[in-house]
Amino acid sequence: MTAQSDAGRYRQELEEAGRFIREGDDFLVVSHLSPDGDAISSTAAIGLILNALGKKYTLINEGRTPEKFVPLLAGQSIIDFSKDAPTARHQRVISVDCADRARLGKVLSLIEGSEPWLNIDHHPTNDAYGTVNLLKPDAAAAVEIIHDLVEVMGIEWTKPLATCIYAGLLTDTGGFRYPSTTPAVMAIAEKMLRHGAQGAALAGELLEKMSYAQVMLLKEALSTLTFSPDRKLAWVTVSIEMMNKLGASEEDTEGLVNIPRNVDGVEVGMMFKQKDADTVKVSLRSAGKVNVAELAKSLGGGGHVLASGCTVRGTLEQAVQRLTEAVNAKL
């Protein structure tokens, strides 16, 4: 497929997504489990778009919204399904930043499967599960796609909406440091700043500020830092006991996987977080030699070439053995 035909396809998808939103009502908007900055920003941005159009909608996620992202909601609320599980059905579904249905978790119980479904995502492993799919695998973040959707739909830019787009780009590009930081990304960021996004304040709140529990968890996790004999692979582990002792939450593990990855000479860094006695969440980061998206997908997960994740069954020790063997086979 040529670049021109690819651009034409994307334009058609944007227009179809715009029609999906304008012609429908009563939307369920959801993102992936353990939502990050892009997932929350995208969810909030879609909510703001629907609100601007006078649509009825519900924002929901299986888990809680990390405290630092709450200001991005601009007065909206995302229902925490794990604490308040509604039963109401909705006429249409919009999922954002979610590579496959399974990543929606228990919220899937609210979806019969016959509803019209708009799938907005930038993960290359996305399997186009929507009835309408708006996919751009080379986008830096889902909010980059939502920016394009706002432009095509002619929605008025507001400070809250611009803040969501900027925050999603900021977090998913690692503060505009990852290879996904293209000239187009920087142009969008500049535009969002002109529409009121406070770049320095967002960077301080979303990238730099750390809770006490997060700092102490970092201290504990570093004591588990392990290297393969050739030092091309490194990992840290986070046990249930560690989390409970520190009173740490899921969001306090954010960024830990970058510690082993950032060591000079390491090709793949991993973090193993124990969810229960027989389940471990694995985060993977690559320096470029290994496509961790393919590796994660083979284990039921997904993500990006340089940053992916999966959940495996077994003890921490079994998960470490399984993943280190899988990664070493790729090195």
In tens, the pLDDT along 145-156 reads: 999 999 999 999
- Domain boundaries of the chain, sorted by first residue: 3-207, 212-328
CA 125 to each of CA 92, 306, 309: distance values in angstroms, whole numbers, following the listed order: 23, 13, 12
26: pLDDT confidence band, cut at 50, 70 and 90?
very high
Kind of pairing between the strands at 307-313 and 279-286: antiparallel
Confidence (pLDDT) at 303: 85
Q: Report, in angstroms and rounded to the nearest whole number, the Rg of the chain calculated over CA atoms.
A: 19
Tens-place pLDDT, residues 185-201: 999 999 999 999 999 99
Q: Which CATH class is domain 212-328?
A: alpha beta
Lowest mean pLDDT across 10-14, 60-64, 131-135? 60-64
pLDDT above 80 for 297: yes
226/229 Cα distance (integer angstroms): 10
Identify the bridge partners of residue 286 per DSSP, sorted by sequence position. Answer: 268
- Could you report how far apart the first and last alpha carbons of the chain are, in Å? 31
Angle at 32 between CA 220 and CA 77, to 5 degrees: 95
Tens-place pLDDT, residues 198-232: 999 999 999 999 999 999 999 999 999 999 999 99
Give percent of the chain with pLDDT exceeding 70.
99
What is the rounded average pLDDT for all residues in the chain? 95
pLDDT above 90 for 1: no
Q: Give the residue-averaged pLDDT of 117-126.
A: 95
Q: Which CATH class is domain 3-207?
A: alpha beta
5: pLDDT confidence band, cut at 50, 70 and 90?
confident
